[in-house]
Amino acid sequence: MTPNHYEFPPLSLATVQAHAAHHLRTGGATPYLLCDLNIVTSKVDRLRAALPGVTPYYAMKANPDPRILAHLHTLGVPFEVASVYELETLLSLGVDASSIIFSNPVKPREAVEAAYKYSVTTMVVDHLDEVQKIASVSREIQLCLRLETSNTGSDWPLTGKFGASTSEALAIIDYCGKHGLPLMGLTFHVGSQCRNLDNWHTGISGARLLLSHMETAGLTPTLLNLGGGFPVQHTRPMPSIEAIGATITDALTGLPETVSVMAEPGRYLVGDSAWMVTRVVGTATRKGHRWLYLDVGAFTGLGETLEQFDYELLCDRDGPLVAMTVAGPTCDTADLLFHDKLLPGDLQEGDLIYLPNAGAYTTAYASTFNGFPLPEMVLKTC
């Protein structure tokens, strides 16, 4: 089988197959994630070229492996964090706290206090309650307001939980202006693996109106944070980063030079840097339908399948394709990965399955539920 949805020939199916054979011969186990840091480097370069004037901060929730973090740090990429644990991981790698943005819109008070003590200067809010919580810890912490925006056409929408509506945002801006609180920026998230260029246009236009309102309210806006959502080429057509960059550059035209622009890419920087290698642990034919059970599942690395996120499955066989149900190894019925996946009908117990584009939101989501081990992340060394 040949991959249809993978952009990086250096980590080709043949390379991954050869690596897996060696890995197993030398005592390695499945499931594991094979990651090529050279791809991370090329994604950083490509993003920077496509989005001139936009500073990418890595959203480490996508893959917090310390080797990826250290690599991005050497490339001069700053970071976005969601928790004190993430923050402390970065600090232990020598990352300067002032180059970190704390973007979780609702944080435990202790997290605000700890981050402030560590000298994190910028935190995201999306509600007056959070503004007041942060101000009660310190009125020096710079605030960046997360706005609601369209997530239409994103494979992993992020609306519904966070984001101030326009009327709420106006009220928060006015409150900060009136009480002298340092609200200095705006942010939004178009949804992860975003296929819809209009989402960036809509997000930026909405933010621009509110940036003007901030000035009217006596605030000095200095930051526009475009969030994440930049897609990897996956199982359906995706706009290229160059097309997204052109849309964003167009939408940013005329933005005051005093406003710096950043983004928080997660998936784009690491998604296609790694393949998941997994093994068929069992097969069954139930009511005439073929089932395949893998040693990686929804709880142990393929968590995004719980929201119907798709993956391409490749293998060493070439038999006639049969529609199969593919499940993970745990006893939970939710651990059903794919329905009617077309795979060679001669797949058997012990066969390896290779999933490209598995570098983001896989090991990061994995748990040891039912006692199954977490997939190890292995670096491709040459």
Ligand X SMILES: Cc1ncc(COP(=O)(O)O)c(C=O)c1O
**Footprint on residues 44-63 left by ligand X (CB under 6 A):** 59, 61-62
The nearest distance, CB 30 to ligand X, in angstroms, is 26
**CA 379 to chain centroid:** 19
* Residues 278-317 as x/- pattern, contact with ligand X by CB under 6 A: ----------------------------------------
Q: CB atoms < 10 A from the CB of 95, how many?
A: 20
Among 188, 268, 293, 372, binds ligand X (CB under 6 A): 268
Binding residues among 187-206 for ligand X as defined by CB under 6 A: 189, 192
Instruction: Kindly give the residue spans of alpha helices, DSSP state H, lying in 181-278.
Output: 197-216, 241-252, 267-270
Binding characters for ligand X, 228-257, by CB under 6 A (x = yes): xxx---------------------------
Query: Counting contacts by CB under 6 A, is residue 23 touching ligand X?
Result: no
**Cα atoms in the Cβ-side hemisphere of radius 13 Å centred on 223:** 25
Region from 208-216, 259-267, 341-349, 368-376 binding ligand X, contact rule CB under 6 A: 259-267
> For this structure, is 35 an active site residue?
no
Please pick, from the candidates 31, 266, 303, 329, the single residue that binds ligand X as defined by CB under 6 A.
Answer: 266
Please give the single-letter amino acid code of residue 292: L
Nearer to ligand X, 191 or 375 (CB): 191
Residue 250, both tokens? 């167009």
Total residues contacting ligand X (rule CB under 6 A)? 17
DSSP code at position 53: T
CA 74 to chain centre: 20
Looking up tokens 């993978």 gives 6
What does the CA dihedral 227, 232, 237, 239 come to, rounded to 10 degrees? Answer: 50
**Which is nearer to ligand X, 59 or 123 (by Cβ)?**
59
Closest to ligand X by CB, 63 or 300 = 63
Residues in the chain: 382
Tokens representing 79 are 């970071």
Residue 221 touching ligand X (CB under 6 A): no
265 counts as binding ligand X under rule CB under 6 A: yes
CB 190 → ligand X: shortest distance, Å? 8
Which tokens sit at 325? Answer: 């149900």
Q: Which of 35, 194, 315, 331 is catalytic?
A: 331
Site string for ligand X, 338-377 (x = CB under 6 A): ----------------------------------------
Q: Which is nearer to ligand X, 30 or 103 (CB)?
A: 103
| Nearer residue to ligand X within complex by CB, 102 or 372 | 102
Among 19, 71, 208, 267, interactor with ligand X by CB under 6 A: 267
Cβ proximity of 154 and 196 under 8 Å? yes
Q: Does 185 bind ligand X (CB under 6 A)?
A: no
Q: Which is nearer to ligand X, 43 or 380 (CB)?
A: 43
| Type of residue numbered 3 | P
Contact 353, 42 (CB under 8 A): no
Distance of CA 5 to the CA centre of its chain: 18
- Per-residue mark of binding to ligand X, 99-118 (x: CB under 6 A): ----x---------------
**For the sheet containing 142-146, what is the strand order?**
54-56, 260-263, 223-225, 183-187, 142-146, 122-125, 100-102, 79-81, 58-59
Residue 38 or 159 having the CB closest to ligand X: 159
- Tokens 């977490």 belong to 374
Using CA atoms of 177, 251, 268, 160 in order, give the dihedral in degrees to the nearest 10: 50
First to last CA, the chain: 24
Distance from C-alpha of 97 to C-alpha of 92, rounded to nearest angstrom: 11
Enzyme catalytic residues = 331
Task: List interacting residues with ligand X (CB under 6 A).
Answer: 59, 61-62, 80, 103, 158, 189, 192, 227-230, 264-268
